[in-house]
Structure formats: C-alpha cells, structure tokens
Amino acid sequence: SQQGEEDPQALSIQEGENATMNCSYKTSINNLQWYRQNSGRGLVHLILIRSNEREKHSGRLRVTLDTSKKSSSLLITASRAADTASYFCAPPVDNTDKLIFGTGTRLQVFP
C-alpha cells in the first residue's frame, strides 16, 4: 500500500506561474521528503522537512507540513520549462527504513 499519495496526478501551467502539489500520508512520521524525476531518469532528492517544522524553503521551492492533517505541499514559484518532471513525496514507512513512493504529480511547464 502507498504511504504517500500526491494530488493532482497531472498539472499543466505556463512558465512563470506557480505550481502547487499536495501529498497525503497515513501514519505518523519523523520527516517527509520530496523527490523529482525527469522522464526516463532516476529520482533526485529535493527537500526534507522534519515533523517539528511547518515550512521550509530551498530556492524556488517551498514545502509545508501539517502533521495534524497528515499532509504536505510543494510549491514551485516562477516555474520554468526545465521544471517539467514528475514529483513524488516520500514519507518513511512507520518503523521501517524504507521509503514508499506514490504515483506522483506529473508537472508540465509550457514555455
């Protein structure tokens, strides 16, 4: 079963617009991560947010975490065509040392 589920499944925007992706998860977590995957490539770690943090920034990325709602969001500001990729959230599975990925959000940024 999936630990993290992303929403929406697909998102299309124009360059310069902001993109928001959401993630819901099922169990308690110590942290949550977001990964990016370009077509046909491996995943790349973007950002990690800990359970005692509510918001975290990295460049044009902003991640929020609401542990009471078991949800997180990833905001990409001023998007670029190069941001076109799939984005996955990955909360660790409770009491295990593995990450379970959802189906991701496929972001398409048109120039």
Binding site for other proteins (CB under 8 A): 2, 31, 33, 35, 40-45, 48, 88, 90, 92, 96-104
What distance in Å separates the CA atoms of residue 101 and residue 78, rounded to the nearest whole number? Answer: 26
Q: Which is nearer to other proteins, 41 or 69 (CB)?
A: 41
Closest to other proteins by CB, 33 or 71? 33
Question: For residue 54, which amino acid is it?
Answer: R
Least CB distance to other proteins at residue 59 (A): 17
Nearer to other proteins among residue 15 and residue 94 (C-beta) = 94
Taking residue 46's Cβ as centre, other Cβ atoms within 10 Å add up to 18
Q: How near is the Cβ of 91 to other proteins at its closest, in Å?
A: 9
Integer angstrom CA distances of residue 23 from 16, 30, 33, 34, 82: 23, 15, 10, 9, 22
Preceding amide of 92 cis, omega within 30: no
3-class DSSP assignment, residue 82: helix
Nearest residue (CB) to other proteins, 40 versus 111: 40
* Min separation Cβ 78 and other proteins, Å: 25
Q: How far is the CB of 83 from other proteins (least distance, A)?
A: 18
